[in-house]
Structure 1
């Protein structure tokens, strides 16, 4: 926690120092983004440098089976990160063709706000992951169910909270980013914010579900959910809905993709709480 917090806050501080006092401009912003994670890594590394610790790197023989298992569980997170950039590029291109730079600027406001919410959902998912893995490995399925239920309640609560904020405070929020008082951008962003935010209650559960399934060594289902919400559902949705409903279809693409992913997860749910078999190594 200390490493994550110091790493993030140092990015903010270094942004200011590099951009303004040192006058490094955009290069300074990029440099701050590169330096901040290194600070977090240094703080985390102190654990391995201490003499009194129960976990440290050791030399071991290469195992292809273990490597494939590690990669299969981590690929869902990789797809989530990579696909977000691809989807953002596609959204920008479609909005540019529909409403020009003003539409792209409106999407920029919504996307940046959505990134904050996604970070909260990711934090909840990563928070339950080690607890779920430990309980599942020791066969405590009742505890696994409890942690999962707590996580879902937390994710849905945050999703509904931000949905309410988007629906009732869209104009004041957009106004913070609209210092030039561009009326067209304000109109587009204020209309798009509530529609885009419809995705949040389902998005929180989907992000949690992908991490949860990976914690249960179910790399295949976690991969399916990540691919669906990352690209396989949202890309066809935005291409189709933008043709049918114009810019309104763009705002609805993510909620539709998250809804489809949520339905797929519900279909998987009966298979998610099975006890690990003896000798499975889960």
Structure 2
């Protein structure tokens, strides 16, 4: 595909279809696991996986830090026709080095400190053993989850988005089949769900690794100059996307602790499906950002401003469609999520609709806010991307999660994210208008 001269519409939607599958890598394993474990072990199993959720957020966010940060610079350098050194593969090499370092640090932390980590993430004595049982087989392959995120980002920027999707789908399909077999047929329960997840990640990694033997591959390991400087560039560029996921882990911990303090384990059991649906919505937003990023990055490097604006238009249409769909589904059929993810008790069914409807109002603006960080990144506006990520993922949301139950009652905690998304959207939209308008003042090549 000619990203610099081809018809934007088919290119964008081809990348979108591929990116959607790739983005689901952040949720497919936990979604299937929660559904199966919830059906097998009920609300306690669902609550245990809600405690494990921040582990995934941390691992995936580190993969995005290196993958998105490195691939944005990779494509921008490739798009600069005056670039003579053609050193884009040095950024790929440094991203691999960074990924290896982060993977092994994460691996060591989860192997040696799993109990205190899970307790900090909100587990109590009844949930801790279930959460540890799930993590036991997953520990063996922790680095693969991070590598999969990094590889998927570079495959999209190396003109092979469909292989990234194939890797995710292959691993996800095995996870679905494996969950049925291990959880139910072999009666392994939550341990079997972890085993299926671990095996699925290995399959995804093997599929994506095949890119390096394909004719499309232009990614090569090259001895980099200025490793520290390039790692800093990658980290600055990738930080907003990294923080979106790491912040989701932080917020999950805050929610877990506040819910257990004010509302109890039944509310936490409902929050498990809520956070998984929120992850799906977030992945939809990722897919729009990841589909747009290779197109905008290379055209930004080539200074083809009109092609950037056309890509932005399609991206905003897609964001709007995702927002309307998920908000409407959540408001109309809230208990659908509960039946998918567990065998609910009467008490769960009584409290779930109000919780889900309140929280899901945030889905109206969540995709736009997340996409805005990708847009700011590819325009090399890291400050705006950073502010959206930090205010959405930590400052405004964290303050509201802590204060709302005190000021307006325990149930008001479910409005923390809708209020946060509204405040952040005001800033994000104003900055998007400002930076897009500035492109009009440039002379398109």
Name 1:229's counterpart in structure 2.
392
Cα gap change, 1:270 to 1:114, in 2 (>3 Å): closer
Worse overlay, 92-101 or 248-257? 92-101
Post-superposition shift, 1:161? 1.4
Partner of 1:256: 419
* Preserved contact between residue 172 and residue 200 of structure 2 (Cα < 8 Å): yes
- Shift of residue 99 of structure 1? 2.1
CA contact (8 A) 1:135 1:141 kept: yes
Residues 210, 60 of structure 1: alpha-carbon distance in 2 compared, 3 angstrom cutoff: same
Contact 2:372 2:432 in 1 (8 A): no
Distance in 1, matches of 2:189 and 2:312, equals: 45
Contact 1:202 1:259 in 2 (8 A): yes
The CA distance in 1 between the partners of 2:188 and 2:338, in whole Å, is: 29
Report the counterpart of residue 360 of structure 2 in structure 1: 197
Give the unaligned 5+ runs of structure 2: 1-164
CA RMSD of aligned residues (A): 2.4
C-alpha distance in 1 between matches for 2:189 and 2:336: 29
Instruction: Give the distance between the partners of 1:51 and 1:95, measured in 2 at CA.
Output: 52
Whether contact under 8 Å (1:136, 1:276) holds in the other structure is no
| SS of aligned partner of 1:120 | helix
Contact 2:273 2:337 in 1 (8 A): no
The question of whether the paired residues in 2 share the 8 Å contact of 1:19 and 1:29 is answered with yes
**Matches of 2:179 and 2:340, distance apart in 1:** 20
Residue of structure 1 aligned with 2:373, choices 190, 210, 225: 210
Partners of 1:45 and 1:258 in 2: CA distance: 37
Equivalent residues of 1:121, 1:207 under 8 A apart: yes
CA distance in 2 between counterparts of 1:241 and 1:205 reads 25
8 Å CA contact 1:109–1:174 kept in 2: the answer is yes
Per-residue CA deviations over 1:72-115 (Å, capped at 9, x if unaligned) read 11122222222212211211221222221122122223222222
Q: Is residue 432 of structure 2 the alignment partner of residue 269 of structure 1?
A: yes
Instruction: Report the alpha carbon displacement of residue 185 of structure 1 after superposing the two structures with TM.
Output: 2.2
Distance of 1:141 and 1:52 partners within structure 2? 27
Q: Which residue of 2 aligns with 1:15?
A: 179
In 2: Cα distance, 1:62 partner to 1:31 partner: 40
Structure 2 residue 321 is the aligned partner of structure 1 residue 143: no
Q: State the distance in 1 between where 2:405 and 2:216 align.
A: 58
Q: Output one character per residue of 1:158-193: Cα deviation in whole Å (capped at 9) or x when no partner.
A: 1111111122222454455563442x3223210121
Report the counterpart of residue 188 of structure 1 in structure 2.
351
Further displaced range: 19-28 or 1-10: 19-28
Using the size of structure 2 for normalisation, the TM-score is 0.57
Q: Aligned in 2, Cα 1:8/1:215: closer, same or farther, shift over 3 Å?
A: farther
**Residues matched between the structures, number:** 277
After superposition, what is the alpha-carbon deviation per residue over 1:6-43, rounded to whole angstroms, capped at 9, x for unaligned? 12222222333433445544333223323322322221
User: So what's the TM-score if we normalise by structure 1?
Assistant: 0.88
Q: Answer yes or no: is 1:64 the counterpart of 2:208.
A: no
TM-aligned CA distance change 1:63 to 1:106, over 3 Å: closer
**Among 297, 321, 343, the residue aligned to 1:157:** 321
Partner residue of 2:259?
A: 95
Structure 2 Cα separation of the partners of residues 157 and 94 of structure 1: 32
Residue number in structure 2 paired with 1:179: 343
Partner of 1:233: helix, strand, or coil? Answer: helix
Aligned mate of 1:106, from 240, 246, 270? 270
Shift in Å at residue 261 of structure 1?
1.1
